Amino acid sequence: MKKIIPLLIALSGCVPSTVTDATSAADASDAAAVASTDKAITSFLFTSPAATGIIDQELKTVSVEMPAGADLTALVAQFEATGTGVSVGGVDQVSGETVNDFSEDVFYVVSAEDGSSVSYCVSAISPRVLSAEKALTAFSIMEPSSTGVIDQEAGVIRVHAGDGADLSALVAEFTCTGASVTVNGEAQESGVTVNDFTASLDYVVTAEDGSTSVYAVRVTGRIGLLINEADVDQVGADTAEYVELYADTDIDLAGICIVQLNGGVTPGVEYARVDLSPAGAIAAGGYLVIAGPGVTVAEGSARYAPTGWGSSNRIQNGPNDALMLLDTIGGRVIDTVSYAGVLHRAVVTGLAGEWDATEGDAGAPADSNSAVGSISRLPNGTDTGQNGADFAFSASLTPGAPNQ
């Protein structure tokens, strides 16, 4: 007879037990403990002035195109970033609050949880505003050395180069605030470019922004202007005094004046001056009469009435007094005549040293206070450099007309 063993007892050594996946749990714990390496600027902009940055994540750059002329020295950036913080030069950055100077590149350092960091170069680019400056600020001729006078309002430069100057081939030195200077389309180089100044030249100054200004440069050599007649003493009250000028070339009177000299002291001194600039110009063969309203000027001739010349005694009667035509631009005497004596030594404002106010050895004759007449060049417009020979007392008053 077979012996039967119960199945339950036979299998009692294989009873299953509950198993925990320890490896999987440890892996999960380790994964949770790994710090993030994320560290990136994801957006960047300015609100004042408004400008949005373009981010290049590969090159780690942020480029912000700003409005032209924007002040970059104190800007506040708004930004978003992954990671644990952002700093500039060790200073923590707060979006929308921290002020930085962006006139040069700024490096934003972004830190990650794992302690690593990355630097973004932020460039705020503001196009420079193109200048509208376009002025000639100094102008002179090198040889013969002569400095120009600039009228910025009128856009005119006057240079008086002096008698005998060859105006056909002169070199100018100049300074300007513009980007370039041209004459007749040709670029001008200060101290180098040769030009013909026998006629007025237009210097065109171009600014950085493309706008232009034009200066008419007028270089004068000989100034053909003479004191041609003077009535300095009348019968009775001296209320009709005048000085007549005669031009044998076209004359721009800017910078020219009549200096009145007192020869009663040694050296003679200036007691009055008449600026002829407001009178404009005289055409070749023309006359200009400096006189008050009581003087009748010949038809077709110009009158210039300085303030106060309607009253009496604007011109001293002599002896040894003088009238001098002075070029204040060129710093030279154009013409001079003493009357009722000589004045070989005189001090003139604006000229160094003493000046001879008598041409030659003798002065022009005296005017008369008992007979109508004037001190006149006879023949009309004659200038031999001798006051005594060129002038005579004439009983004919001819303001603005040829002397008789």
| pLDDT the model gives residue 308 | 87
| Residues 209, 299: Cα–Cα separation, whole Å | 51
Query: E strands along 248-400, which residues?
Result: 251-252, 256-262, 268-275, 281-282, 287-291, 302-304, 321-327, 332-339, 346-347, 354-355, 374-377, 391-394
| Residues 245, 286: Cα–Cα separation, whole Å | 8
**Cβ contact 156:215 at 8 Å:** yes
Under the banding of pLDDT at 50, 70 and 90, the label for residue 27 is low
| Residues 170, 146: Cα–Cα separation, whole Å | 11
Enter the CATH code of domain 136-220: 2.60.40.2340
> CA-CA distances (angstroms) from residue 354 to 222, 266, 269, 348?
23, 11, 10, 7
Q: Output the average pLDDT for the chain.
A: 92
Q: Which amino acid is at 28?
A: A
Compute φ and ψ for 168, nearest 5 degrees.
-80, -15
**Cβ contact 284:247 at 8 Å:** yes
Which comes out higher in pLDDT, residue 23 or 9? 23
| pLDDT the model gives residue 20 | 42
Q: Is the omega angle on the peptide bond into residue 365 within 30 degrees of 0, that is, cis?
A: no
CATH of 41-125, one of 3.60.40.10, 3.30.565.10, 2.60.40.2340, 3.40.50.2300: 2.60.40.2340
Q: What is the phi-psi region of residue 10: left when phi exceeds 0, alpha when psi lies from -120 to 50, beta otherwise?
A: alpha
| pLDDT the model gives residue 370 | 96
Tokens of 89: 């030069």
| Residues 239, 399: Cα–Cα separation, whole Å | 15
**Cβ contact 217:203 at 8 Å:** yes
**Cβ contact 321:340 at 8 Å:** yes
Report which of 73, 18, 78 is spatially closest to residue 52, judged by C-alpha positions. Answer: 78
> pLDDT tens digit string along 191-234?
999 999 999 999 999 999 999 999 999 999 999 999 999 999 99
- pLDDT above 70 for 30: no
> pLDDT tens digit string along 139-192?
999 999 999 999 999 999 999 999 999 999 999 999 999 999 999 999 999 999
- pLDDT above 50 for 28: no
Length of the chain: 404
Report which of 365, 342, 363 is spatially closest to residue 267, judged by C-alpha positions. Answer: 342
Enter the pTM of the model: 0.72
Tokens of 21: 């996946």
> pLDDT tens digit string along 49-98?
999 999 999 999 999 999 988 999 999 999 999 999 999 999 999 999 99
| Neighbour-count burial of 332, counting CB atoms closer than 10 A to its CB (0-12 exposed, 13-18 middle, 19+ buried) | middle
Secondary structure (3-state) at 131:
coil
| pLDDT the model gives residue 19 | 37
| Residues 365, 340: Cα–Cα separation, whole Å | 5
Within 10 Å of residue 219's Cβ, how many Cβ atoms? 24
Q: Half-sphere exposure (CA, 13 Å, Cβ side) for 344?
A: 4
Handedness of CA 358, 361, 367, 368 (dihedral sign): positive
- pLDDT above 50 for 22: no
| pLDDT the model gives residue 310 | 80
**Cβ contact 127:159 at 8 Å:** no
Within 10 Å of residue 119's Cβ, how many Cβ atoms? 13
Which residue, chain included where needed, has tokens 């929308």?
96
| Residues 326, 317: Cα–Cα separation, whole Å | 20
Which residues neighbour 50 within 8 Å (Cβ) at sequence distance 6 or greater?
none
**Cβ contact 60:108 at 8 Å:** no
For CATH 2.60.40.2340, list the domain ranges present in the chain.
41-125, 136-220
Chain centre to alpha carbon of residue 220 = 23
| Residues 168, 188: Cα–Cα separation, whole Å | 16
| Residues 246, 232: Cα–Cα separation, whole Å | 17
